[in-house]
């Protein structure tokens, strides 16, 4: 993939995702237990999983699910997420809406977030919920990894929307990517070289997502973008103090990495780092 990228034949993420989807894509076939349909919510593709009606139950709970993959890989249609959403729909007796947001490098931040938000807001309209027999008071938003990032961002925005008649009841985030402030958290330090996602790969996913250059990777690795002399980072520091926030069992041998002098220009070039 990287050789193809180097030869300028295609972006390496496009090639990698093509290989993933080629070997892993499933057809949208409904089973006796779960009805699976593809739809478009406000211009965004989604896959909907509907369990059969049970007894005299009139309305079901629901989950809006946003898949992971570094904002660049995977799909609601791959077997991993197809099977996950099918299991959720069966085990929860819930209507599951899996969002097929656009990916890097086709689009970068904030378009993935906009896709997830548009699809979710469309689903939360009372007439759409009625179409799928969903209880407006029992709707969750969930996602894993980069999808957890998008789920959290969508929930934050929905909580501020005063005109929204229906709001999510629950947020369930699975190993979510929640901040680009500190790439030396306890978990980054303890798992920096662990497969399948070593720290430098996660940093590269962030750079791709916010349309940056890989030449900044080392600066991010050592937290030069949030050094003490970077004024825009000061307001976040107290809220991201892992020494005070985490219990000892998670900190282990953790040593904070706080640079006294860093590179403020990074945040000027990549303002999304602190968005």
Rounded to an integer, the average pLDDT of 119-127 is 98
pTM > 0.75: yes or no: yes
Lowest-confidence range among 27-31, 91-95, 217-221? 27-31
What percentage of the chain has pLDDT greater than the value 90?
Answer: 81
* Interatomic CA distance for residues 203 and 112, integer angstroms: 18
pLDDT score, position 44:
98
Among the candidates 148, 174, 200, a domain finishes at: 174
**Does residue 180 form part of some domain?**
no
Same domain, yes or no: 152 and 73: yes
Same domain, yes or no: 170 and 190: no
Same domain, yes or no: 149 and 244: no
Same domain, yes or no: 89 and 153: yes
Which of the residues are catalytic? 145
Rounded to an integer, the average pLDDT of 50-56 is 84
Query: pLDDT tens across 145-182, in order?
Result: 999 999 999 999 999 999 999 999 999 999 999 999 99
Same domain, yes or no: 7 and 123: yes
- pLDDT higher than threshold 60 for residue 29: no
Query: pLDDT tens across 72-96, in order?
Result: 999 999 988 999 999 999 999 999 9
Rounded to an integer, the average pLDDT of 2-19 is 63
pLDDT score, position 196:
85
Same domain, yes or no: 40 and 101: yes
Same domain, yes or no: 148 and 92: yes
Residues spanned by the domain of 222: 186-274
Same domain, yes or no: 193 and 144: no
Same domain, yes or no: 55 and 165: yes
Same domain, yes or no: 168 and 227: no
Three-state secondary structure along the chain?
A: CHHHHHCCCCCHHHHHHHHHHHHHECCCCCCCCCEEEEEEECCEEEEEEECCCCCCCCCEEEEEEECCCCCCCCCCCEHHHHHHHHHHHHHHCEEEEEEECCCCCCCCCCHHHHHHHHHHHHHCCHHHHHHCCEEEEEEEEEEECHHHHHHHHHHHHHHHCCCCCCCCCEEEEECCCCCCCCCCCHHHHHCCCCCCCCHHHHHHHHHHHCCCCHHHHHHHHCCHHHCCCCHHHHHHHHHHCHHHHCCHHHHCCCCCCCCCCCCCHHHHHCHHHHC
Same domain, yes or no: 231 and 164: no
Same domain, yes or no: 143 and 202: no
């Amino acid at each position: 993939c990287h050789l193809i990228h180097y030869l300028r034949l295609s972006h390496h993420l496009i090639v990698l995702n093509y290989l993933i989807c080629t070997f892993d894509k499933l057809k949208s076939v409904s089973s006796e237990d779960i009805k699976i349909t593809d739809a478009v919510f406000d211009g965004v593709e989604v896959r909907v999983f509907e369990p059969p009606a049970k007894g005299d139950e009139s309305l079901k709970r629901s989950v809006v699910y946003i898949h992971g993959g570094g904002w660049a890989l995977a799909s609601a249609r791959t077997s991993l997420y197809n099977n996950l959403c099918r299991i959720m729909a069966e085990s929860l007796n819930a209507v599951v809406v899996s969002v097929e947001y656009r990916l890097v490098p086709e689009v970068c931040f904030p378009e993935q977030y906009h896709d997830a938000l548009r699809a979710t807001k469309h689903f939360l309209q009372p007439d759409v919920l009625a179409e799928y027999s969903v209880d407006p008071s029992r709707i969750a938003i969930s996602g894993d990894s980069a999808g957890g990032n998008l789920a959290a961002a969508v929930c934050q925005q929905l909580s501020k929307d005063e005109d929204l008649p229906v709001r999510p009841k629950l947020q369930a985030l699975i190993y979510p990517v929640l901040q680009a402030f500190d790439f030396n958290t306890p978990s980054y330090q303890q798992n920096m070289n662990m497969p399948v996602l070593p720290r430098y790969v996660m940093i590269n996913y962030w750079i791709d997502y916010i349309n940056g250059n890989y030449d900044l990777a080392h600066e991010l690795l050592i937290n030069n973008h949030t050094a003490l002399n970077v004024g825009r980072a000061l307001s976040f520091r107290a809220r991201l103090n892992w020494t005070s926030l985490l219990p000892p069992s998670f900190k282990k041998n953790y040593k904070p990495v706080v640079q006294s002098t860093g590179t403020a220009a990074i945040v000027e070039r990549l303002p999304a780092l602190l968005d």
